[in-house]
């Protein structure tokens, strides 16, 4: 490559990656879908108050609603021969009232779906950030310093990884859900979202720390680190200036994939009612609400399920796109 | 000879082998380097050239490696010096450049940024101040339009420019000793000549001595004041470059020179090659390490050869006559 190639002028590895990503149609569609889902969830109060005129956290089994000029009871008499109980309203497909029907407490499923999405997205995003921070710390420290530190941290990761992720998360949740978590003078109440965030972040640390450690190991042996040491650069500075920026691509690629995993874990915990606590919603809790209605009103469980599937799919496609775009090793080793 | 900048005496580098044995990579290596001198270390791959360079820098981080002998730098003993003290020497006093500047530069930063960092790692200077120095340095290294070049990433520069940037980085703190490990191997011949020219000029512009490690006799002839021929971790011959090329004393040095295709006259149909391969460090023969491949080997070679002094040359061969033989 010539030194004064006009097309590559001032285009660093980040710019190059960005260009590649922007050209990746699947990743862009996934990103657009993801942004749409996030925007919809962020605007949940607007939908609930101004469009559907409903309170998604208030159960109201006696309410009625006007749909297509007809007044309908939210909880309708059952048509089974025994006339036991009531069946919630079916999806009306009318955005101003019970678009996706009502759940067993007469609440608007669509509004709850949007509110639940806020929690699901918030928890999985926060857990991802926290997990990556912890994993980066563990991976970089053990990869860079090696020796006893590496051995100790790696074995700890192995032990954590030996316990199935969900089992680990469930046991931690059960322990903390009953009384909250007390750390010295601070108590985190059991309905605090920090609990599921922390638990999910913790159980995925080994998953993320391993590739980071591997990358740091190769970087530490790389010639530019040797060169930096040959020029008398202190270790801390090498870590900060040479290792960290080169690891950051690994971190970025890991992020969406981890977020997909975190979202699944969050849904699972909430489905088992050891994640997000009522009356707050998450996609997992809504699926649980819909569990009892699966034969009569399947939409209550299908809608949040679909939301999870779409979000996880989009995150995975985006992650693949990022990985292709950020493969620094492939693009930077072209020789001149 | 004026007082020495660097002197190695009986430097031996041993790495742990299998089953607790120690493999001596470099054995009893002695050489010295005067201020502003360029010393070439020539040898095949595996002869211990790069190990010697890394030992001087204190960068051998194989657990259990043992370095014995003595290395004096400006009167300070480097063997056994603490990691912190060595680190302070590196960059400021001794700097090193590598064979492949592509892999020796961090791919994620511009070269200007990397040189700035190197300057700021050793001196407290503002970013702008460091950048001004960087641009000056790049200019001195013959980088055209250094201001623009500083904003480029390594992969956007040609091999020659990358090596110039690498040298600029190494020289940013005015080291008195620059170790260049095969600095031109990855470059094509015209660029190679330019870089060697640059290295030769350094001693005037920066007052640096250069330890040039190479396997290329042509590079040595062009650049070095004195030459050390290394074979299997041992000194085969050392002395002024001109003398060694005019009348090599060691059979290995002679064979090396004979294997260079002649520029004038009739070209031989086949180039001379040395039969066999250099022994691996673990199974080096006793006595002269070149014995198995030497055409003149005889019984006496089973003992460690003496260093024969001939003029200014030192030759590790029993056959070396004290006076130059007319070829």
pLDDT reading at A237 higher than 80: yes
CB spacing of B117 vs A241 below 8 angstroms: yes
Q: Cα dist. B161→A29, A226, A331, B141, B187 in Å?
A: 41, 20, 19, 9, 10
C-alpha torsion sign, points B102, B107, B111, B117: negative
What are the tens digits of pLDDT across the range A274-313?
Answer: 989 888 899 999 999 898 888 888 999 999 999 999 999 9
Q: Write down the pLDDT at residue B324.
A: 53
Q: Cα dist. B143→A95, B33, B135, B198 in Å?
A: 66, 29, 9, 11
Q: Write down the pLDDT at residue A335.
A: 36
Is residue A68 very low, low, confident or very high in pLDDT (cuts 50, 70, 90)?
confident
Q: Write down the pLDDT at residue B302.
A: 85
Full-model pTM = 0.78
Which residues, including other chains, have CB under 8 Å from residue B20's CB and lie 6 or more apart? Answer: none
pLDDT reading at A139 higher than 90: yes
Contact status of B110 with chain A (Cβ, < 8 Å): yes
**Predicted complex ipTM:** 0.73
Helix (H, G, I), strand (E, B) or coil at B265: coil
What are the tens digits of pLDDT across the range B147-189?
Answer: 999 999 888 888 888 888 988 998 888 899 999 998 888 788 8
Rounded to an integer, what is the distance from CA B168 to the centroid of its chain? 18
- Token look-up 């194989």 returns B62
Is B159 exposed, middle or buried, given 0-12, 13-18 or 19+ CB atoms closer than 10 A?
A: buried
- What is the overall mean pLDDT for chain B? 87
Question: What percent of chain A has a predicted confidence (pLDDT) above 90?
Answer: 47
Contact status of B246 with chain A (Cβ, < 8 Å): no
**What is the CB neighbour count within 10 angstroms for residue B150?**
22
C-alpha torsion sign, points A163, A165, A170, A176: positive
**What is the CB neighbour count within 10 angstroms for residue B246?**
12
Is residue A14 very low, low, confident or very high in pLDDT (cuts 50, 70, 90)?
confident
What are the tens digits of pLDDT across the range B288-299?
Answer: 888 888 888 888
**Averaged pLDDT, A250-256:** 92
**What is the CB neighbour count within 10 angstroms for residue B108?**
23
Is residue B18 very low, low, confident or very high in pLDDT (cuts 50, 70, 90)?
confident
Q: Which residue of B has its CA nearest to A6?
A: B156
Most confident of A9-18, A155-164, B16-25, B289-298: A155-164
Contact status of B109 with chain A (Cβ, < 8 Å): yes
Q: Which residue of A has its CA nearest to B121?
A: A233
Which of A145, A224, A334 to substitute to test the interface with B, most B CBs within 10 Å?
A: A224
Nearest to A3 among B59, B117, B158 (CB): B158
CB spacing of B122 vs A232 below 8 angstroms: yes
DSSP structure string for B119-147: HHHHS---HHHHHHHHHHHHHHTT-SSHH
What are the tens digits of pLDDT across the range B91-114?
Answer: 889 999 888 777 888 888 899 999
Which positions in chain B touch A335 (Cβ < 8 Å)? 102, 159, 186
Q: Write down the pLDDT at residue A59.
A: 81
Distance (Å) from the alpha carbon of A155 to chain B's nearest alpha carbon: 21
Which positions in chain B touch A336 (Cβ < 8 Å)? 102, 155, 157-159, 161-162
Which of B97, B156, B158, B174 to substitute to test the interface with A, most A CBs within 10 Å?
A: B156
Q: How far apart are CA A116 and CA A112, in angstroms?
A: 6
Q: Write down the pLDDT at residue A209.
A: 94
The H-or-E segment that residue A23 falls in is helix A13-23
Tokens of B91: 């960059």
CB spacing of A232 vs B121 below 8 angstroms: yes
Is residue A202 very low, low, confident or very high in pLDDT (cuts 50, 70, 90)?
very high
Residues 175-204 in B contacting A (C-alpha not used; CB under 8 Å): 179, 186
Could you tell me the domains of chain A? Answer: 30-332 (1.10.3720.10)
Q: Are B115 and B168 in contact (CB under 8 A)?
A: yes
Q: Write down the pLDDT at residue A8.
A: 45
**Averaged pLDDT, A62-89:** 76
């Amino acid at each position: 490559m010539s030194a004064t190639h006009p097309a590559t002028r001032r285009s660093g590895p980040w710019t190059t990656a960005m260009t590649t990503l922007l050209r990746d149609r699947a990743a862009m569609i996934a990103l657009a879908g993801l942004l749409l889902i996030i925007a919809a969830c962020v605007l949940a109060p607007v939908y609930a108050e101004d469009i559907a005129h409903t309170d998604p956290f208030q159960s109201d089994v006696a309410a009625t609603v006007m749909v297509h000029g007809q007044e309908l009871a939210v909880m309708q008499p059952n048509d089974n021969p025994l006339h036991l109980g009531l069946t919630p309203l079916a999806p009306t497909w009318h955005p101003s009232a019970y678009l996706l029907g009502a759940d067993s407490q007469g609440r608007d499923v669509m509004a709850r779906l949007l509110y639940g999405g806020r929690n699901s997205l918030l928890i999985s995003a926060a857990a991802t950030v926290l997990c990556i921070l912890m994993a980066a710390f563990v991976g970089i420290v053990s990869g860079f310093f090696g020796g006893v530190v590496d051995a100790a941290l790696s074995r700890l990761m192995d032990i954590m990884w030996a316990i199935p992720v969900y089992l680990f998360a469930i046991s931690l949740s059960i322990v903390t859900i009953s009384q909250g978590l007390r750390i010295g003078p601070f108590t985190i109440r059991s309905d605090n979202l920090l609990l599921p965030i922390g638990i999910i972040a913790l159980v995925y640390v080994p998953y993320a720390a391993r590739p980071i450690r591997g990358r740091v190991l190769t970087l530490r042996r790389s010639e530019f680190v040797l060169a930096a040491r040959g020029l008398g650069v202190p270790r801390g500075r090498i870590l900060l200036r040479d290792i960290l920026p080169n690891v950051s691509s690994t971190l970025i690629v890991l992020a969406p994939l981890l977020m997909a995993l975190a979202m699944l874990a969050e849904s699972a915990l909430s489905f088992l009612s050891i994640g997000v606590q009522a009356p707050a919603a998450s996609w997992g809790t809504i699926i649980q609400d819909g569990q009892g209605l699966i034969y009569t009103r399947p939409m209550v469980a299908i809608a949040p399920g679909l939301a999870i599937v779409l979000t996880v799919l989009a995150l995975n496609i985006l992650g693949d796109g990022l990985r292709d775009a950020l493969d620094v090793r492939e693009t930077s080793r072209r020789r001149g | 000879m004026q007082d020495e900048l660097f002197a190695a005496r009986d430097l031996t580098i041993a790495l742990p082998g299998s089953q607790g044995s120690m493999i001596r990579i470099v054995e009893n290596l002695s050489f010295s380097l005067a201020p502003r001198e360029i010393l070439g270390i020539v040898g095949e791959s595996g002869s211990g050239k790069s190990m010697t360079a890394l030992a001087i820098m204190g960068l051998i981080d194989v657990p259990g490696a043992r370095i014995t002998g003595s290395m004096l730098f400006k009167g300070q003993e480097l063997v056994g010096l603490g990691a912190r003290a060595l680190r302070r020497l590196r960059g400021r006093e001794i700097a090193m450049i590598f064979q492949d500047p592509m892999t020796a530069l961090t791919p994620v930063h511009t070269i200007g940024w990397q040189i700035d960092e190197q300057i700021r790692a050793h001196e407290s200077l503002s970013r702008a101040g460091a950048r001004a120095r960087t641009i000056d340095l790049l200019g001195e290294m013959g980088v055209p339009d250094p201001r623009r070049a500083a904003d480029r990433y390594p992969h956007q520069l040609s091999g020659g420019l990358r090596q110039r940037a690498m040298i600029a980085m190494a020289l940013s703190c005015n080291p008195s000793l620059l170790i260049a490990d095969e600095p031109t191997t990855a470059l094509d011949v015209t660029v190679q000549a330019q870089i060697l020219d640059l290295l030769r000029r350094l001693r005037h512009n920066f007052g640096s001595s250069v330890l040039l490690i190479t396997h290329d006799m042509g590079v040595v002839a062009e650049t070095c004041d004195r030459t050390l021929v290394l074979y299997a971790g041992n000194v085969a011959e050392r002395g002024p470059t001109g003398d060694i090329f005019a009348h090599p004393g060691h059979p290995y040095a002679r064979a090396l020179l004979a294997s260079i295709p002649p520029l004038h006259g009739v070209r031989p149909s086949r180039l001379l090659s040395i039969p066999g391969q250099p022994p691996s460090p673990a199974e080096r023969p006793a006595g002269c390490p070149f014995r198995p491949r030497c055409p003149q080997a005889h019984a006496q070679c089973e003992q460690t050869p003496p260093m024969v002094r001939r003029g200014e040359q030192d030759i590790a061969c029993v056959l070396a006559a004290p006076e130059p033989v007319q070829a």
